[in-house]
Amino acid sequence: MKKACVIGWPIEHSRSPLIHNYWLKKHGIDATYEKQAIEPENAAQFIAALAVSEFVGCNVTIPHKETAFQAVAETDKIAGRLGAVNTVYVRNGKACGTNTDGEGFIASLHHAYPAFGLKNKAAIIIGAGGAAKAIIGALIDAGVARIGIINRTRARILDLQAQFGSQIIEINETAANDALAACDLLVNTTSLGMEGGTEIALDIQHLKRNALVADIIYVPLETALLAKAKQLGHPVLGGLGMLLHQAVRGFELWFGVKPEVTEELHDLVAADVQKASKQ
C-alpha cells in the first residue's frame, strides 16, 4: 500500500490529511496520507531518506521548506527560484522537490474568477516572505506587468527586486494611495489578519474600483481585509482555495491521478476550519 505524509513542526493544525484522504477515497486508491511531526534537527535526514522509505512522497510545511530544498537530490526550476520545497516525490530512486504554492494561488484565482485575466495587469503584494515570493514568480509567469510590494522590512523588498528585476516596485507609505488607485490585484501574503492576531493597517479606500482583493490566510476563512474589501464592493478571494489547489500536483505525482478541487472538498475543509475556530 502506498503511503504519503505531511511533515512540519508543529503539524497538528495541518489540513493536508483531510484534503488528500478525501481524494484517495474519491478515487478508490488504496493508500494512506498522514501527519508526521518532525523536529527541525531531523527534517533533513527524513527527507533525504524518503527515497528508501515506505513513503512515495510528502508535503512540507513550516519550518522545513528551506531544509527540504537542501535535502532533496533534485529540484525543478520553480523550487530553485524560491529556494524552498513544499512537495517531495520519489523518482528513479531519488527524492525530488518542487513548490506548488504559486500555481496553487493562480489556480485558485482562475477557479473563482475564470474571466479575470492577469496579462499586463498591475498587482500589489503585501509581504515579502516565502509565500510572497512564490506568488510573485507565478504572477510574472502569468504575464502580470508590474508588482508593487509593501513590506515591514525594506531589505526583503530589495532582495525581491534583485531577484525578479524592474517589474518589482517598492511601495512606501507616501506612495501607497496612488499605487492602490492603479492596482488590479491586491494580495495579502503576510500573517497579519490571522485569527487572534494583529490586523493589516493598510487603508484600501483608494483602491481601484473592481480590483480583486485576495488574502492567503484561511484561518479565519474571511479576514478583516476581505470583509472590508467586500463592503467596498470588490471581488474577494480567501486563502483556502490556494491551500486546496496547491495540493493537486503532489497527489498527481504520488498517485498518478489529477484530482479535482470540488465544492464538496472546499466545504469539508472550511467546516473543519470553522469548527477549530469555535474551540
Residues of this chain that interact with ligand NAP (CB under 6 A) are 101, 104, 127-132, 151-153, 156, 189-192, 194, 198, 216-218, 239, 242-243, 246
Active-site entry in 65, 121, 133, 228: 65
With respect to ligand NAP, which residue has the nearer C-beta, 156 or 208?
156
Q: How far is the CB of 157 from ligand NAP (least distance, A)?
A: 9
Q: How far is the CB of 216 from ligand NAP (least distance, A)?
A: 4
197: CB partners within 8 A, 6+ apart: 191
List the one residue out of 244, 239, 251 whose CA is nearest residue 58: 251
With respect to ligand NAP, which residue has the nearer C-beta, 135 or 144?
135
With respect to ligand NAP, which residue has the nearer C-beta, 73 or 268?
268
Buried/exposed code over 217-236 (b: 16+ C-beta within 10 A; e: otherwise):
bbbbbbbebbebbeeeebeb
Contacts 24+ apart (CB under 8 A), 164-168: 164/136, 164/137, 164/140, 167/140, 168/136
Q: How far is the CB of 72 from ligand NAP (least distance, A)?
A: 19
Q: How far is the CB of 233 from ligand NAP (least distance, A)?
A: 24
With respect to ligand NAP, which residue has the nearer C-beta, 73 or 194?
194
Q: Tell me which residue has its CB nearest to ligand NAP.
A: 129
Q: How far is the CB of 1 from ligand NAP (least distance, A)?
A: 28
Q: How far is the CB of 144 from ligand NAP (least distance, A)?
A: 18
Cβ–Cβ under 8 Å, residues 213 and 231: no
List the one residue out of 135, 138, 141, 117 whose CA is nearest residue 149: 135
With respect to ligand NAP, which residue has the nearer C-beta, 220 or 239?
239
With respect to ligand NAP, which residue has the nearer C-beta, 178 or 199?
199
Q: Does the annotation count 208 as an active-site position?
A: no
Residues with a catalytic annotation lie at 65
